[in-house]
Amino acid sequence: MDTDYLLIAVTALACLIFEKITKRRLTTDQWDYTRDMLMIASMSLLSLVIGTKTSSIIMAFGIIFAVVATAERLYSSPFWPFLKIALAIAFALEGPRIQFITLGNENFFYLSSGVAIIATATWLLLCQTFLSEVDEISGLSGHLMAITWVLLWGVSFFLDQGLKDSMWISFAGISLCLIFWSRIGHTYRRLGYQLVYFWSTLIAGTSLIGVSKGVTFATILLPLSLFALPLMEASLGFVGKAFADSARWRNVSLYEKLVSRGIDHPQAVRLVAAFCMTIGTSVALFQLVPSPWGLKISMTVLAAGIVAFLIYVAKNAAPKDQRRPSLWGIFVDNVSLDYVLNKVIFWASQEDDKSYMIVTPNALVAERSRHDYELREAVKSADLSLPDGMGLVWAFRLLGVRIQQRIAGIDFMNDLCEMAENRGMSIFLLGGSKDVVEKASARLNESYPNLKIAGFHHGYFSEERDSDICKLINESGAKILFVGLGVPKQEIWIYRNLKHLKGVIAIGVGGSFDVISGRLKRAPVAWQRLGLEWLYRTIQEPWRLKRIMRLPLFVVLVFLTKLGLCNRRMD
């Protein structure tokens, strides 16, 4: 076994060297893809060198599922779920299998061959589904995966039952998580469909080797019921429907509860991961010491972890005025992009006709709202108000409010399109010229092949046609409506017409259609980081200069507000 650990260490070191060499030679997307492939290749190579037939089967199915997940994303077909089920059954036939169930005592419940195959296939599919759902929250799946490998290795090591495959796979998983932590554990990155299916297959398979499957259940499955509402709706849909009318049960996400209390996204991810680790460690201890003393130790660890968790949250929760800070009568939701995406998923899953409004104000919107009553009321009535411009973020920072994340309209739109593609939601585009909206639709179809675009319409129409436009949107069946009419027209249009839309999430995205269609170029990353996107766009559209001339006034007003010489509230 010492030789196995040495080979794993050498492989991890080689990965580290390769990562450093390629970092400056590749773009971010190319580098991430290269690292993903390197992780899969490293695990496969180790399986061939030090693995047994069992670990080789697990690895082979991990690769197969990763390929299927890639193909599913590229080519839409109703047969993919059936193929996954067939592969899961094949895994149960050829690989490790759930032969018995035990709670850590001497009572074993042995399963018949047929039941064992069904149980194993179900277990594999559940692991894949759960990790995929958790990956909707950036960084969380990577943290949970690392914790899982540590606990699996610890239990396998201390049980000392000759679990060679379980030990080396877990140790290799830990090593690669450490080497590629900037990819796996980054709190603003997801694992992606390839790694989700590869690693979840490995976790499911490794947990079936020996008696360590109880740890995986405690670390990944049980805690998910606390914070993964999308998971509950996907796997326990009938429960969601049963409590659909109960406000108490509409949002049970631990992650969202933390964010709503002012905990920023990175902290929330780490807290959820720590909570999961506490539960997993508690169950692992009970499994290692299956006695009354083991139960007492396990419960003590769990209680201590919960108390520490509650104390930390109480100390670090932001004051209420920083969770939804206001400036001149408009509000901004101080949340992360991942929180917003999960909120949209939750809204879209509701079966009623209620519609929701999301706005993305910038500095000019804030300044204009001081004297434009309808715009101010439109932004105030929004279900979510997301800070689009860096100027607004800096203004709040000067006024003592730290905004978690600037959420640019175009980035938000692209992330929503990716989410809609993965979940089969349809979208509608409203705004821009006829040529621009048509090209934007075509470009989105190129970027997201399986995205359902229910329809689009240009933005040059009179108020008299509002009812016709609403009827067109409703008949399309779209769940997400992107409105690119420009400020303040888009906010006011949504505000006036939201009551006529049925079950739609309407989002103002400004000039995103122009960028997506290719009519305008987006500012380089360096300009974005400096908060100069407005200048880059003004260079391309000089007619905006008159509007931009109001920015100095915004700066002056912010300083006057800071000094108490300008009223921060305009209610």
Tell me the per-residue pLDDT of 255-298, one tens digit each, with 9 for 90 and over.
Answer: 777 777 767 778 888 888 888 788 777 777 776 676 777 777 77
The domain 325-512: what is its CATH number? 3.40.50
Closest listed residue to residue 234, CA positions, set 424, 481, 363: 424
Residue 396's contacts (CB-CB under 8 Å, 6 or more residues apart) are: 325, 327, 332, 387, 402, 403
Q: Estimate the share of the chain in helix, then strand, then coil, as percent rounded to the nearest 5.
A: 65, 5, 25
Can you tell me the distance from the alpha carbon of 478 to that of 489, in angstroms, rounded to the nearest whole number? 21
Instruction: Please say if the pLDDT value at position 253 is more than 60.
Output: yes
Mean pLDDT of 323-336: 78
On whether the CB atoms of residues 506 and 357 are closer than 8 A, the answer is yes
What is the pLDDT, as a whole number, of residue 161?
A: 57
3-state secondary structure of 564: coil
Residue 482's contacts (CB-CB under 8 Å, 6 or more residues apart) are: 413, 416, 427, 428, 429, 430, 431, 507, 509, 512, 513
Mean pLDDT of 324-344: 79
Please give the C-alpha separations between residue 515 and each of 206, 314, 432, 438, in angstroms, as whole numbers: 46, 43, 11, 13
Lowest mean pLDDT among 143-147, 308-312, 497-501: 308-312
Report if pTM > 0.85.
no
What is the pLDDT, as a whole number, of residue 68?
A: 93
Written as one letter, the residue type at 454 is A
Can you tell me the distance from the alpha carbon of 382 to that of 360, in angstroms, rounded to the nearest whole number? 10
What is the pLDDT, as a whole number, of residue 249?
A: 37
Instruction: Please say if the pLDDT value at position 215 is more than 50.
Output: no
Q: How confident is the model at residue 390 (pLDDT cuts 50, 70, 90)?
A: confident
Please give the C-alpha separations between residue 303 and each of 273, 275, 296, 449, 529, in angstroms, as whole numbers: 16, 11, 10, 48, 43
CA atoms within 13 A on the CB side of 186: 11
The token pair at 331 is 């509000």
Can you tell me the distance from the alpha carbon of 282 to that of 277, in angstroms, rounded to the nearest whole number? 8
CA atoms within 13 A on the CB side of 62: 27
Per-domain boundaries in the chain: 2-316, 325-512
What is the pLDDT, as a whole number, of residue 290?
A: 66
The token pair at 280 is 């997993």
Task: Tell me which range, 6-20, 255-269, 515-529, is most confidently predicted by mean pLDDT.
Answer: 6-20
Pairing of β 326-327 and β 330-331: antiparallel
On whether the CB atoms of residues 108 and 102 are closer than 8 A, the answer is yes
Q: Residue written as tokens 């879209």?
A: 348
The mean predicted confidence, pLDDT, of the chain is 79
Sign of the CA dihedral running 440, 446, 447, 452: positive
3-state secondary structure of 161: coil
